[in-house]
Each structure stands twice: as C-alpha cells, then as structure tokens.
Amino acid sequence: MKIIVVSGYAYPSIEPWVLSSWLPDLTFLGNFSYGITAEGGVVDLNDENLIQAAYTAGVKPMMVLTPLDESGTFNDVTAGILLSNPQARTNLVNNILQTIQRKGLAGIDFDFEFVPVENRQDYVELIRQTKELLGPQGYYVTAALAPKTSDAQQGSIYQGHDYRQIGEIVDYALIMTYEWGYTYGPPMAVSPINQVRKVLDYAVSEIPREKILMGMPNYGYDWKLPFVKGETRAEKMSSGGAFWRAQYYGAEVIYDQLSQAPYFTYFDSAGNKHVVWFEDIRSIRAKLALVEEYDLAGVGYWNIMDYFPANSEVLNEMYQVRKL
C-alpha cells in the first residue's frame, strides 16, 4: 500500500470533535492563517489549540502565511510592497523563524495568491531565503500554487507563481486543484477531474512528483438559477450538508462522468430552481486514484472545518498516511 503525505488546512475556530476526527489522517496541519506587514512583520494567529492537538496526534502543525494585513483582510498591495523590498523580505524571513521557534511549529506553508507578476521572482527569492534559513534547522518549507496548465497562463492568480523554481526549493508543493466551481462563477464541479488532469500533466513536468500534493476539496456549492454573472452568489456548503439537502427536497443525485462529481437540482419553498455540486465517495475515490496514477507525494485538503466520513473511509482504504 502506497504511503502518502496528507495535509489539511484549519482555522483555530474548528470544532474540537471535527479536528480530532481528522487528525489521524493527517501528516501536516496548516494553521490558517498568519499574516504580514509591509515591513516584514508577522501578524500572529491564536492557534495554540491547533498546535497542541496536532502534536498529541503525531501531526506536524504548520504556520500558513498569507497576505493578511493587521486588520485580518487579504491585502495584495501589502504583499507587493513587501516583496519589492529586499530588506523587508529579510525581516520577514527572520520573523518567520522566530515565530516558529516561539510557538513550536514544524515549518511554514506559503500561500500567497495573486502575486503581482512583477514580483514573481521576488516571491521565489523569499521562499528560497526562507528555505536556506529554516531547512538546516529541520523545519519544513512548503508552498501552495495556483492550478496552472502552462507557464504562460494568463491571469492574476497564475502569473506570479513559478512552478519550476518554487518546486526546486520547497519540501512540498500543494497544487490548488479546486475552485473551478466557485462562489461567483457559473455552476460546475468544484474539482472536475478532467481539469485536474490538465493541471497535473503540467505540474509533473515542472515539479518533482515526490514533492507534489494534489488539492482536495471538502465542500460544495449551491447556486440559485438562472446564473447571472456579477449577481449570483453561490452558497458554500459541506458535502454532508449537500446530502441532507438532497434528501430534504427529494432530489435525485446524478453523477457526472466527465467531471467525476455528483450534483442535483431542486426547487426551494419560493419556487426558485437550484443546482448543487459537491463531493461524494465516488468523486473522492476518483481523485485519490490520481495520486497513484501520477505517483504524487499525496494530497492536501481545503479545508477540514467539516468532517465528512467518506474522506477518511476512502483514504484509508487506498493509502497509508505518512507520519513524520
């Protein structure tokens, strides 16, 4: 049985029973999220509950670092200012190490999305500098990367991530193979397997397979129809919640073969038609099979704030989880 790395992102507000249910199946726990200042400071996270629970279960707790400012808001402007300033980057690297040592974390996971294209190389250098300082001390350095299909892919979420250079540096790279179906987008599977394959085909051409973690969604969306671009906002929901809703409305769950994902439609009490795309035991198994097919290091779940037993059931049926 193949042994794989499994990571999962969690907020400190996670229900204790949900966290304890997930921990036996995790290698890394991503504590979401620490933030940054333009000068290279680290915005702390009150995550002692996550750290303690992780170590008790033999899981490595990681500092997830995103461009959150001191108000808790994602701020790409701050990220650009920081990345453009070599001294600020050095300050950040030193502050990362101090925070990890002070709190007893196992390492850092960089999750900088929408990196300005002009700061693409600066971001590589930040990760490289961090690895050079933290690696010799036994800390892990990982990064989450946008789901690209080529290096030339256009779009603000893609252009700032250099797969090859970042892949050379980090211990593991999580490829965010989810959010095709998303809050403001048209109804579709969150992680359609035909699209995931395209991303993995590119990823393995740039990053060593033994470093790649494939993103796994632990949620679905409910869209009210008709979809109106710029107006429709899908409701995010757990897979368990989706099953409950299908049952409540007496909806038939249909499995889409192309995307390898389930969906159903229903009419609410006001007569509005809805469509729900989510994950079930079949879609989970189909995605997890790609780890073996592509010979990847493992998977990373976004996120583990809800517990869906099928995730654990299929994971343990197919693989053994690595404990470091």
- pLDDT, one tens digit per residue, over 289-311 is 999 999 999 999 999 999 999 99
113 tagged catalytic: yes
Other beta carbons within 10 Å of 310 = 17
What band does 8 get if pLDDT is binned at 50, 70 and 90? very high
Q: What's the length of the chain?
A: 324
Prediction pTM value: 0.97
What band does 72 get if pLDDT is binned at 50, 70 and 90? confident
77-112 burial, b at 16+ Cβ within 10 Å, e below that, comes to ebbbbbbebeebbebbbebbbebbeebebbbbbbbb
The stretches of the chain forming alpha helices (DSSP H) are 16-22, 48-56, 76-84, 86-103, 120-134, 163-169, 193-206, 239-249, 281-294, 309-318
pLDDT tens for each residue of 114-131: 999 999 999 999 999 999
Residue 32 CA to residue 16 CA, distance in Å, equals 16
How high is the pLDDT of residue 128? 98
What band does 63 get if pLDDT is binned at 50, 70 and 90? very high
For each of the domains in the chain, give its residue range(s) and CATH number, in order of start: 3-218+279-321 (3.20.20.80)
- Amino acid identity of 59? V
Residue 203 CA to residue 169 CA, distance in Å, equals 15
**Residue 248: pLDDT above 90?**
yes
How high is the pLDDT of residue 70? 87
Residue 179 CA to residue 173 CA, distance in Å, equals 18
How high is the pLDDT of residue 189? 98
The answer to whether residues 35 and 78 touch, using CB atoms and an 8 Å cutoff, is no
Residue 177 CA to residue 162 CA, distance in Å, equals 16
What is the edge-to-edge ordering of all strands in the sheet holding 235-237? 235-237, 220-224, 273-277, 261-267, 254-256
How high is the pLDDT of residue 71? 87
pLDDT tens for each residue of 43-60: 999 999 999 999 999 999
Token duo for residue 320:
């053994």
- Measure CA 300 to chain center: 6
How high is the pLDDT of residue 76? 87
Question: Quick one: DSSP state of residue 137?
Answer: G
Residue 72 CA to residue 11 CA, distance in Å, equals 13
How high is the pLDDT of residue 130? 98
Percent of the chain topping pLDDT 90: 98
Which one of 113, 179, 206, 279 is the catalytic residue?
A: 113
